[in-house]
Amino acid sequence: MELRLTDQVAVVTGAGQGIGAAIAVTLAAVGARVTVNDINPDRAERVVLQIREAGGQAIAVTGDVSNKFQCVNVVETTRSEWGRLDILVNNAGVLPQVSVLKMDEWDWTRCIDVNLKGTFFMTQLCSRVMADENQARGGVVVNIGANEMSMMLPGRTGYAAASAGVVGFAKACARELAVYGIRVNTVLPGIIETPMTQHRLGDNTAVLSSQIPLKRLGQAQEVADTVLFLCADAGRYVSGTTIVVDGGGYDLG
């Protein structure tokens, strides 16, 4: 099974920490040249340093994916640096935790703008490059969303709406872009153990772990490994698919 990405170029958004960082590091480890995008320049640079210290190739490009002009800069900087673009991983996202009864319009709009509109901007821009320049080589788009359990936790109405939109968007894109050899898939992680989830879950971690058939939270590397499969030649006939990485589901009793 071929899991190498030698000489390919990948853009990973929201890659400054957590799942995004694990994806960027994993793709670089198998030969991809990676653009590490994050809204926080310090975080992006730390991931680039980690990749370079391991012998990989990476650059950091700061940008907010909800802003189309900043998305253009991410894409054009990548093309200027590496001369091509093969893979896009839409990982950037925000997670306002507030009840639908108390959520203000800014929280809702920010969540939709980053999680859904940002996915649209980056997919459109990168797919245009892939369609125009890659010919038979095609390309790959992988979206990171949230599975049903993640959406059922309190205060996640905006997150749930955006993630559901991403799934539908990916399926439609997979059909439209197949003619260009571009594959589009979505990965829906369960509750993954990252600094953000540890901070927000607090003492609830043990309870949630007990409700998962595998009896533990997921690891960012396990999501990254799934993304690698979809990006690599091993996943060459997979498109329009949604893969759930959640340890077997949840028993909410």
Catalytic residues: 159
Cross-strand partners of 88: 11, 141
Nearest to 74 by CA among 26, 45, 38: 38
Identify which of 142, 130, 37 has the alpha carbon closest to the alpha carbon of residue 84.
Answer: 130
Strands 139-144 and 87-90: parallel
Contacts of 207 (CB under 8 A, 6+ apart): none
- Give 39-84 as a 3 state SS string: CCHHHHHHHHHHHHHCCCEEEEEECCCCCHHHHHHHHHHHHHHHCC
